[in-house]
A = this chain, B = another copy of it.
Amino acid sequence: MAGTKRDALRRTLVDVAETHIRVRGLAALRARDVTKDAGCALGSLYNAFEDLDLLILAVNSRTLKRLDSALATALSNAPAPAEAMQNLARAYLSFAVDNRQLWAALFDHRMPADQTIPDWHLKEHETLFSRLMVPIGQLAPALDEQTCALRARTIFSAVHGIVKLSLEDRFVALHPDALDSELTQMVDAITTQLRN
């Protein structure tokens, strides 16, 4: 079975990189630290991955899967659409708080100027948006699929913006209860409008 060994190293490297990002943050990730902790030579990273960015994308891919399943869990009791929107927003906030650095890495990472993000990874991001489409469609049945998708993106962006700026060191930290309350009100404003 060709590639098994290679895959084992790949998984180890992703494990180690994930831990490093979780603990120290994306900006402090170093190829030398990762390979040392993974017990392999510096150059081996470049046998397993094209470069450090692809390793980071592998970590982000994992994080996105966990985030998506957290959102799925938030809908597991088949709530009414307005409640579903609130559950999704709260689940997003919870995930961001509980996985601060890994979650931040999803949006802070930048490809080098001459490279673009691979399609398979872009699709993983869009999966997040589409989680919103079901409740949106239920709240506003008149919307066609395309408008629905557009609206999902917008609402995701708004919620994401609130969570991101709140958790950024740049600004004064917010009291968790205040943040929760603000988020609930924003989602309420959005769902109320969708009904009309």
Give me the interface of A with B, judged by CB distance under 8 Å. 24-25, 27-28, 107-108, 110-111, 113, 116-117, 122, 125-126, 150-151, 153-154, 156-162, 164-166, 169-172, 174, 178, 182-183, 185-186, 188-190, 192-193
Contacts and interface: CB of A to CB of B under 8 A. Distances in A.
Copies of this polypeptide in the complex: 2
Most chain B beta-carbon contacts within 10 A, residue among A25, A150, A151, A161 = A161
A28 to B, nearest CB: 6
13 contacts: A108-B110, A111-B169, A116-B169, A153-B165, A153-B174, A156-B165, A157-B165, A158-B159, A158-B161, A158-B162, A159-B161, A188-B193, A192-B192
A interface secondary structure, majority: helix
Contacts of A178: 150
A164 B172 contact: no
